[in-house]
């Protein structure tokens, strides 16, 4: 077993030096005077340095402070923590820390770390070594800062939401004094104010309708109702179950000049009040059918309007006859105003989502046919409308005839991530084809191009070259696979017998970190019938679950479904694993066929 040495008595002794070198967490070992005495491979990869550059040097000579940084606290904070750990004999955990590192060309790379310093003591309790453990959290900090910037760009939309909520609250305050003596109305008012917060959290028209119908109408003491949305000269109505099956089937889709009060409110921006059975029957012949089917006698229809734009209507019905009091109509108007603001926000975001998704799909072209290989690609958008942007796949021939396959994910979920994805995808296409280099060389060149063009984006990606059996550059009987992984979830390989495994080779840093280090290729020979699966993290990541659980779920599903033709395999894998994803999913499956 790697990392263990068998003793004569049959026991095993752990090779701690090998363990230290191989652990994926970056570690630096210092003497009490802060001289570097040992370093593991993960630390070298995280900082872009070599052992020769670090061993025997004082830590702050090897990693001086950035004189141009706006935050010069990195060196004094780290020094103070190391001294505390050394002198107290207790581990010292630091707060998230900016500490720029030299880039090897006289400049500095902006980096953020989560450090911890641990003393190693001898039998007498004296500190003989210090272990400096770090986690590179630069990706997290950049994503957090981008999210803050995105929130700032959305300030106008939020301001409109806040204005609508304040308007509802102001109306509620104005009405509260007048309704204090009316217990039922006061309870309705309180409930509707609470509903304002629920409406603000709605992300779809279906969710808006659920809040309005299932909660809002109940708070109003109503017996049924409908939300209508204008759509190219028509009004699409979502009605409560209490409105009867015939009414819901017949009047779900009407022209704006249709016979129901909902149509008039949505077309003419008017409040329609039908206080009793007689008034309802006199409105139109169709209302007699509605009354017979639903049993509702009293109706109000209110326009849903934002500024000068009519979005639809809100219709409410009751079983009893009663005149509408002015205060009741005003309360309904306040609720309709909040519904309109929510509907407007939802429609704006859905339009943005459709535009972004259309652009994204236009970039994800179908793979060209390749002799000896069958390729299936899928793109599955997130369920949440704002989650769009950085996932992509690609497949194209290399200059030597090999199939070039790519899966990637740009950090972020907005249109800026989508733009960065397009830049990175197209640049990688050109670099990989023109250079004709192995995957690691192409990704290293991509890193240089992005840095030179000032493309500020981070992306994880797997780049694959695959030669079919018998193809020049491959093997006579088996396919030859060469790949490089830049910070991406591991590919899944399923053999002809259905045995599936993760290709969890050492992973290189993401593209965009500016680390000028060579990258590593890995290679395998694949028997005919083997299937390789590349995917983005939306397929395996779930909230409140460790990533290993999602990876194992994918591995098991891929093994179970391997007998399907590759196109059906891709569909079945998504159907089983993509259940209402919170992130976009890109998927590429390739099978060796001959």
DSSP element (H, E) containing 594: none
458 phi-psi bin (left φ>0, alpha ψ -120 to 50, beta other): beta
Collapse the DSSP code of 510 into the 3-class scheme (helix H, G, I; strand E, B; otherwise coil) and give the result.
coil
Contacts of the segment 30-38: beta carbons below 8 A, 24+ positions apart: 30/59, 30/82, 30/129, 30/130, 30/131, 30/132, 31/129, 31/130, 32/86, 32/127, 32/128, 32/129, 32/130, 33/58, 34/58, 34/59, 34/60, 34/79, 34/82, 34/130, 35/59, 36/62, 37/129
The CA dihedral of 22, 27, 32, 37, to the nearest 10 degrees, is 50
CA 1, CA 14: separation in Å to the nearest integer? 10
72-116 residue pLDDT tens: 778 888 999 999 999 988 888 887 788 888 877 778 888 888 888
What whole-number distance in Å separates Cα of residue 365 and Cα of residue 362? 7
pLDDT at 175 over 90: no
The answer to whether the CB of 318 falls within 8 A of the CB of 222 is yes
Length of the chain: 594
Indicate the pLDDT class of residue 425, thresholds 50, 70 and 90.
Answer: confident
The reported pLDDT for the residue numbered 180 is 46
DSSP symbols for 415-444: HHHHHHHHHHHHHHHHHHHHH---HHHHHH
Q: Which two tokens stand for residue 393?
A: 């796949």
User: Which residues, including other chains, have CB under 8 Å from residue 120's CB and lie 6 or more apart?
Assistant: 127, 128, 129, 130, 131
From CA 395, how far away is CA 405, in angstroms rounded?
5
What pLDDT, on the 0 to 100 scale, is given for residue 478? Answer: 93
Please report how many Cα atoms fall inside a 13 Å half-sphere around the Cα of residue 594, on the Cβ side.
6
CA distance 266 to 315: 10
Asked whether the predicted pLDDT for residue 519 surpasses 70, the reply is yes
- In this prediction, residue 369 carries a pLDDT of 79
Categorize the per-residue pLDDT at 179 as very low, low, confident or very high, splitting at 50, 70 and 90: very low
Rank 68-72, 211-215, 376-380, 453-457 by mean pLDDT and report only the highest: 376-380
User: How far is 296 from 241, CA to CA, in rounded Å?
Assistant: 13
Given a cut of 60, is residue 361 above it in pLDDT? no
Average pLDDT over residues 423-436: 87
Region of poorest pLDDT, from 124-133, 413-422, 470-479, 534-543: 413-422
Which has more confidence, 414 or 173?
Answer: 414
CATH 3.30.450.20 domain position(s) in the chain? 23-143
Instruction: Read off the pLDDT band of 200 (50, 70, 90).
Output: low
Write out pLDDT tens, residues 224-269. Answer: 888 888 988 899 887 776 676 777 788 888 999 999 999 999 999 9
pTM for the model stands at 0.48
Percent of the chain with pLDDT strictly greater than 70: 78
Picking from 48-57, 185-194, 234-243, 246-255, which range would have the lowest pLDDT averaged per residue?
Answer: 185-194
CB atoms inside a 10 Å sphere around CB 83: 15
Place of tokens 């800026």: 416
Check whether domain 23-143 has CATH 3.30.450.20, yes or no? yes
Region 442-447: mean pLDDT is 91
Indicate the average pLDDT of the chain. 81
Q: What is the CA radius of gyration of the chain?
A: 32
Q: Which residue has the tokens 């003491």?
A: 221
Read off the pLDDT band of 398 (50, 70, 90): confident
Flag the least confident range among 174-183, 256-265, 298-307: 174-183
CATH of 202-355, one of 2.40.50.100, 3.30.450.40, 3.10.129.10, 3.30.70.100: 3.30.450.40
Confidence of residue 532 (pLDDT cuts 50, 70, 90): very high
In DSSP notation, 310-369 reads: EEEEEEEEESS--PPPHHHHHHHHHHHHHHHHHHHHHHHHHHHHHHHHHHHHHHSPPPPP
CB atoms < 10 A from the CB of 38, how many?
A: 18
Instruction: Pick 533 or 247 by higher pLDDT.
Output: 533
Per-residue tokens: 396: 């194209």
State which of 11-25, 185-199, 433-447, 520-534 shows the largest mean pLDDT. 520-534
C-alpha separations of 125 from 122, 129, 281 in Å? 5, 12, 94
Selected residue with higher pLDDT from 26 and 210? 26
**DSSP conformational letter for 30:** E
Single out the residue of 522, 432, 518 nearest to residue 481, CA to CA. Answer: 522
pLDDT at residue 152, rounded to an integer: 55
The stretch 210-220 carries a mean pLDDT of 70
pLDDT in the model for residue 99: 86
CATH number of the domain at 364-592, out of 3.40.50.280, 3.40.50.10150, 3.50.40.10, 3.60.40.10?
3.60.40.10
Q: CA 277: distance to chain centroid? A: 52
Other C-beta atoms within 10 Å of 310: how many? 18
For 33, list phi and psi in degrees, rounded to 5. -90, 15
* pLDDT of amino acid 1: 38
pLDDT grade for 354, boundaries at 50, 70 and 90: low
- 547 compared with 150, residue with greater pLDDT: 547
Q: List 375's β-bridge partners, or say none.
A: 590
Helix, strand or coil, per DSSP, at residue 338: helix
The answer to whether residue 9 scores a pLDDT higher than 70 is no
Instruction: Enumerate the CATH 3.60.40.10 domain ranges in the chain, comma separated.
Output: 364-592
**For a pLDDT cut of 90, what percent of the chain falls above it?**
30
Phi-psi category of residue 233: left, alpha or beta, with phi > 0 → left and psi -120 to 50 → alpha: left
What CA–CA distance (Å, rounded) separates 183 from 194?
17
pLDDT tens readout for residues 121-173: 888 888 889 999 988 878 767 766 665 565 555 555 555 555 555 555 555 55
Is the pLDDT reported for residue 12 higher than 70? no
Alpha-helical runs (H) found in 154-203: 155-179, 183-200
Tell me, what's the pLDDT at 158? 56
pLDDT tens string 469-500: 988 777 889 999 999 999 899 999 999 999 99
Give the residue from 86, 33, 25 showing the smallest Cα distance to 61. 33
CB 593 within 8 A of CB 400: no
- Does the pLDDT at position 589 exceed 70? yes
Task: Write out the residue limits of the CATH 3.30.450.40 domain(s) in the chain.
Answer: 202-355
Among 72-86, 182-196, 460-474, 535-549, the least confident range: 182-196
pLDDT score of 374 more than 90: yes
Render 49-77 in DSSP notation, one character per residue: --HHHHTTSBHHHHS---TT-S---HHHH
């Amino acid at each position: 077993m790697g990392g263990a040495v068998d003793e004569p008595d049959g026991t095993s002794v752990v090779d701690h030096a090998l363990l230290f070198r191989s652990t994926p967490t970056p570690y630096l070992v210092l003497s009490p005077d802060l001289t570097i005495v040992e370093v593991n491979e993960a630390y070298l990869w995280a900082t872009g340095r070599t052992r020769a550059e670090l061993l025997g040097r004082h830590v702050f000579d090897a990693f001086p402070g950035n004189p141009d940084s706006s935050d010069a606290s990195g060196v004094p904070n780290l020094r103070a923590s190391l001294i505390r750990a050394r002198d107290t004999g207790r581990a010292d955990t630091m707060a998230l820390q900016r500490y720029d590192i030299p880039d090897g060309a006289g400049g500095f790379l902006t980096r953020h770390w989560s450090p911890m310093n641990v003393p190693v003591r001898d039998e007498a309790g004296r500190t003989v070594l210090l272990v400096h453990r770090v986690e590179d959290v630069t990706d997290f900090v950049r994503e957090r800062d981008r999210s803050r910037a995105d929130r700032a760009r959305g300030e106008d939309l939020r301001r409109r939401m806040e204005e609508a909520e304040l308007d509802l609250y102001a109306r509620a305050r104005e009405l509260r004094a007048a309704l204090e003596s009316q217990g039922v109305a006061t309870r309705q008012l309180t409930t509707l104010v609470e509903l304002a917060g629920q409406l603000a959290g709605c992300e779809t028209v279906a969710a808006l309708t659920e809040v309005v119908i299932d909660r809002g109408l109940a708070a109003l003491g109503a017996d049924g109702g409908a939300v209508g949305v204008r759509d190219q000269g028509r009004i699409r109505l979502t009605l409560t179950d209490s409105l009867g099956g015939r009414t819901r089937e017949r009047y779900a889709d009407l022209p704006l000049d249709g016979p129901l009060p909902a149509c008039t409110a949505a077309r003419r921006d008017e409040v329609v009040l039908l206080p009793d059975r007689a008034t309802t029957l006199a409105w139109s012949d169709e209302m007699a059918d509605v009354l017979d089917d639903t049993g509702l006698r009293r109706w109000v229809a209110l326009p849903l309007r934002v500024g000068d734009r009519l979005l639809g209507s809100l219709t409410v019905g009751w079983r009893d006859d009663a005149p509408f009091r002015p205060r009741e109509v005003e309360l309904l108007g306040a609720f309709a105003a909040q519904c309109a603001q929510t509907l407007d926000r939802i429609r704006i975001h859905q339009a943005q989502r459709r535009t972004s998704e259309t652009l994204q799909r236009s970039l994800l072209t179908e793979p060209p046919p390749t002799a000896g290989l069958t390729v299936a690609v899928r793109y599955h958008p997130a369920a949440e409308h704002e989650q769009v942007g950085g996932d992509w796949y690609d497949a194209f021939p290399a200059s030597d005839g090999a199939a070039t396959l790519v899966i990637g994910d740009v950090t972020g979920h907005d249109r800026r991530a989508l733009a960065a994805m397009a830049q990175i995808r197209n640049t990688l296409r050109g670099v990989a084809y023109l250079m004709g280099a192995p995957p690691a060389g192409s990704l290293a060149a991509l890193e240089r191009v992005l840095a030179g063009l000032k493309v500020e984006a981070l992306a994880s990606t797997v780049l694959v070259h695959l030669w079919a059996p018998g193809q020049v550059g491959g093997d006579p009987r088996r396919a030859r696979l060469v790949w490089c992984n830049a910070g991406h979830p591991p590919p899944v390989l399923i053999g002809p017998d259905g045995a599936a495994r993760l290709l969890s080779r050492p992973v290189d840093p993401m593209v965009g970190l500016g680390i000028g280090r060579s990258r590593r290729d890995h290679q395998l020979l694949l028997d005919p019938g083997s299937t390789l699966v590349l995917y983005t993290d939306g397929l395996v990541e779930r909230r409140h679950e460790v990533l290993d659980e999602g990876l194992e779920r994918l591995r098991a599903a891929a093994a179970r479904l391997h007998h399907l033709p590759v196109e059906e395999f891709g569909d079945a894998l998504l159907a089983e694993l993509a259940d209402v994803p919170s992130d976009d999913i890109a998927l590429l499956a390739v099978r060796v066929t001959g």
